[in-house]
Amino acid sequence: MKDLIQSFKFRKAALAVADAFIITVASLISNFIFNYKKDVFIVSIIISVICCFLALFMCGAYSKLWRYFKSKDYLSCVCGILVGIASSTTIYYVAEKNCLFHYSLVQAAVSIIGICLFRFIFKTTFIELTHISNNDSSRVRTMFIGGGMASKMMIREIHNAQKSQIEEEKKSAIYDPVCIIDDNDSIIGESIEDVMIVGRTSEIKKYVEAYKVKQIIFAIPSCIDEERQRILKICSETNIPVKVLPFIGSLIFDEDKPTLLNQIRDIKVEDLLGRDPIKFDNQDIKNFIGDKVCMVTGGGGSIGSELVRQIARYNPKQIIIVDIYENNAYDIQQELKMEHGDDLNFTTIIASVRDYHRMNQIFSEYKPQIVFHAAAHKHVPLMEVSPMEAIKNNVVGTFNVATLAQFHNAEKFVMISTDKAVNPTNVMGASKRCCEMIVQYLSQQHEGKTEFVTTRFGNVLGSNGSVIPLFKRQIEQGRPVTVTHPDIIRYFMTIPEAVSLVMEAAAIAEGGEIFVLDMGKPVRIVTLAENLIRMYGKVPYKDVEIKFTGLRPGEKIKEELLMNDEGLKKTSNKLIFIGRQIEINESVFPMKLAELRDAALENNVKSAVDALHDMVPTFTTPEEYNNNVLIRA
């Protein structure tokens, strides 16, 4: 019976019967006033019902879900009754030569009032009651964004799952589609699988309130990125959870994800970054990696482990994973075993890049042809407290691995740097600038066959120590979200994008370049926090407090991707640029590097920081840098 009530065809038939009954009652009332003969009265009813039904049908009174009727939709009922009564009066006059003008006028007025009132009452009472009775607590009132094929397929899956008696399929029936939003004016008012397309994306907040929506699903997988950002921003302002259907190219239909519904995911912050996903030339990378021995230092870290995953796709001869942290190394080792089994030749080695002799053993045994150097200390505040460790691990470690790559005739050495190396205000950034200088110095030597290249990019979403995991933990635990400064902004990219940049840079490098990614517009961290809070269905500053804790030691308000003396040159990828390397003074650099190393080995904080300032002329204090930024703003 429930399925029958929810059937659109049944509801249209029931509506037509109700309309016929109302027109008949209107005829009775009219005849009670004017008291026509019985035969005239009966004929009038039959003709009126037939003509009004046809007129209502032609005016579209039965083409829409009547529980979703808006005020303008009642005009179709008014027009249908007026045309129907006028037609029936004309037919009766032509057939019987008898004018029933006053009778028809009252009949039309009562019919219009009755039919419109009937729809209004059932919209606000009966339909809501039947909806509630058919709705269990696990089903969420859901708005779909997009009136295309994706929404149609998903809503059909939901309806099929709701009808199914199979428990596994019922797990997909947690959504209760109540309305659809689309910017195509020509389809607004139509329905998809009995769900009405009610309005445009600019009206999302209005219809969320009108339909008591508790969940939004963004179902336009082919939406261009700029439009996607605009719509998702509106959705995030509703303060209810938002889920998205991935890009069409990301959809996977296999045993684990056989349907669209199973591929709906929670919205991610990268969906709101405001730029297209970076595309890379996989063929170049395939030719570069294929059948080569590749070493990844820091191979268990966020960037290093993703490097290992992507290298594994291109049929390398062998992957050497080097990491000092055994837990991370074990995790990526087990992942590769499960993913590739015996098809992938890889070795996991616990070793420190600080240990020159141990690294020399590894190079001697495995003869890596391509070296990706991702091992580094990256946490800014921690390195401010222990600058000697940043120098030992980042600077000395890079020198060890780079010179060994050169000595053992590796084809390419690729160092992973950061935007914090540009005009650094902290020890970590300054140490990474030293690493860039080491790579440039070795490239200038033109000794051996190794080509040296540096890749530089901004913050990585989801990496160890990034703000997103911290914000998520704070929101989920009901704690205030902590942001250091209301004006702080950062460039962001995803881990796969960062790694793809590294891979393509390595593939197209000729030696001595710094590759920089066009990362789009920088993102204000407080805006990122507000959007993330909204994605959890909460209201910033009301449900979740945002606390400004003050800039941390060494922290910049704004990061940069290029120094003043560096220019940009285009590459074959329009979003990857080459920064012009600043010439290294080859007579002075080795001596300053030795002084820096010795200062760090003495474990003297002041001497280590002083040596770092001497090594990196652009190393300044965060106070001086941030004051200049705020003054310019």
Residues annotated as catalytic are 420
**DSSP labels for 92-108?**
HHHHH----HHHHHHHH
Among 228, 335, 313, 327, CA closest to 274: 228
Secondary structure (3-state) at 349: strand
Report the alpha-carbon angle 377-379-383, nearest 5.
Answer: 75
The partner residues of 489 in beta bridges, in order of sequence, read 524, 558
Residue matched to tokens 């939003």: 181
Secondary structure (3-state) at 490: strand
Contact 269, 475 (CB under 8 A): no
Alpha-carbon distance 493 to 497, whole Å? 6
Contacts of 530 (CB under 8 A, 6+ apart): 540, 546
C-beta pairs of 580-589 under 8 Å, 24+ apart in sequence: 580/514, 581/440, 581/443, 581/512, 581/513, 581/514, 582/440, 583/444, 584/437, 584/440, 584/441, 584/444, 586/441, 586/444, 586/445, 589/437, 589/441
Contacts of 254 (CB under 8 A, 6+ apart): none
Q: What's the distance, CA 208 to chain centroid? A: 21
Report the alpha-carbon angle 417-339-464, nearest 5.
Answer: 35
Alpha-carbon distance 260 to 141, whole Å? 18
